[in-house]
Amino acid sequence: MKQETIVLYPVLGRGHIVSMVELAMMLLQSTHNYSIIILLTNGFLDHHTINAYIHRISSSHPSISFLRLPHTPLPTFATTVSFTAKVTNFMKSNTHNVATTLSQISKATTVKALIIDFFCSSAMEPASSMGIPVYYFFTSGAAVLALFSYFPKLHQERSVSFKDMVGVELSVPGNASLKAVKLPEPMLERDDPAYWDVLDFCTRLAKARGILVNSFSELEPAAVQAVAHGACFPNVKLAPSVYCIGPLIAEPQESGTYDKLSCVFYY
């Protein structure tokens, strides 16, 4: 009988890798029958401290291993392209690497699930085609998950960029009224390629088998209720299951400083 494995796929950046490692350790506490493989991109924002960190985790947690994807060079962009657009393009360019790697892992072990970061949404299609259930790990809390899940509807109801909607307030389930111009930066400008990538990623949230969110009902009662009951998703009856697993907090010495990507969607 093959060993059973859960594969985790964080977006680039130390902060996101640390978050996925914390999730991996929580999964191992709840079940010891699985091994964990964490996929890491290679070629963009490869911080020099990551190697030492993953070596330390691998040594102290033998059931957690790391697998670097083949090196992927960052395409050349115009100077006007946003940082988020570069990140989304880089992650999409790794889709083939993820598909090939999942296929290789599946030959030696049974992959029970692929858990992906929001920016790794392009990995959903190849994993699903292999029959691997796909879950999201959403680290920003239930209110932000509600906003992201509802963003496709906000987009459909308007034809101009949110940055130009001065004085307009948006109604989003699970959130207080939001000023349109205060949305996370990649959601503001329709002329930014990142806007359309984020819209695509938000649309894919509803297609996941489930979403793990780093929150709990006592912290965000209205937001947790909104996502748990599917009020933010296009079809309530087809909304993915949402699991509140917070608070999930890394030790101070592990979390380090926030990387730039971690701050992109803070609002």
Residues pairing with 35 in the sheet: 5
* DSSP structure class, residue 159: S
- The span from the CA of 49 to the CA of 14, in Å, is 8
Give me the catalytic one of 47, 117, 192, 229.
117
117 in active site: yes
Give the CA distances from residue 117 to residues 6, 13, 20, in Å, rounded to whole numbers and listed in that order: 14, 11, 8
- The span from the CA of 264 to the CA of 38, in Å, is 23
191 in active site: no
| Dihedral (CA of 38, 43, 47, 49) sign | positive
Using an 8 Å Cβ cutoff, are 247 and 216 in contact? Answer: yes
| Dihedral (CA of 179, 181, 182, 185) sign | positive
* DSSP structure class, residue 192: S
133 burial (CB, 10 Å; 0-12 / 13-18 / 19+) is: middle
Q: Which of 156, 148, 154 is nearest to 170 (CA)?
A: 154
Report which residue type is found at 142: A
* DSSP structure class, residue 34: E
Tokens for 104, please give them: 């290789």
Any idea which residue has 């697993």 for tokens? Answer: 245
- The span from the CA of 258 to the CA of 170, in Å, is 29
Catalytic residues: 16, 117
